[in-house]
Structure 1
């Protein structure tokens, strides 16, 4: 794993299988997100990963905080700051990015992302017009769940970095017609124009 320096201390991402093993103790839905969600869909490794992203629903936040009671857990707050996340504290609606490490002086090991939902419907936190059934948000992968690639690409589309472009190129040939149509429509809703839209339509 890469070691990356960050303003609040270095990142040394935990191996994905270790994070998955830890998260199996959570009695609530969770799934692998970020670059690993794309890589798992591709079926083989094609780049290094500087972090591990795990997502869950906001309504299950206290369950995951209790699972991590022995860890040092911080939440990304307003104005680009991190603050400790106290046990049994319900986070404000604008807080969705959580950093986790074993102890105070150690490197950050993985991130938690809180997703929005209304009943059995997932809501895209950046644009509430974009929704889909929770039942179609993830797919099972060796006994755990990962975010479907079209939804992960929607998150990656805003200010796409080189690694996001790499992920898009890697998964694009594997997307079904339905997945490409969903992503194209979602990009149109959020961005109106986006360079990925033309490439999605060219694959049809």
Structure 2
């Protein structure tokens, strides 16, 4: 059973705005002080070149490795890389990572399991599970439209997900993850065939 997991990375522009403060100082004859201030909104990290449409090949496993529900096989490490996260952002606890899917299957997504997009016999029998580097399943958010928004995550989660600052590069971060096949049902007859899953990803900063 071979699975190629496609991961689409969503990108937005970072919004900036400026404010001008003119403050009288003393009497009219004493002069004045002018402040020019640039305030940066929280924005979206940019996807590192080459990671825009990342594919992860989980290779091949045997159906009997997935014959019992909740069993897993074929685990593989991979990472996501974002940069230009704002010139004030150097810490992972300022980041919000959103991983979402457009298939409304809450029981699977809550366990970090992405539904199989293939339409053959194994469509509902096996999926792909995402985990942190330490092996904790990552809850996948559901959104009907393929556009991740910051509101899908209520608080920063960079530290929780194990994000790492990229050495030698300012305001760039890697998110090391794992992916593996996940048996949704018992039995092996509904496991044979290709598996294809997809997660949509964005990183925001505060």
Bin for the TM-score computed over the shorter chain? under 0.3
Richer in helix (by share):
1
Pair member with larger Rg: 2
TM-score after normalising by structure 2: 0.22
**TM score, norm. by length of structure 1:** 0.22
Higher relative contact order structure (alpha carbons within 8 Å, sequence separation ≥ 6): 2
Higher strand share: 2
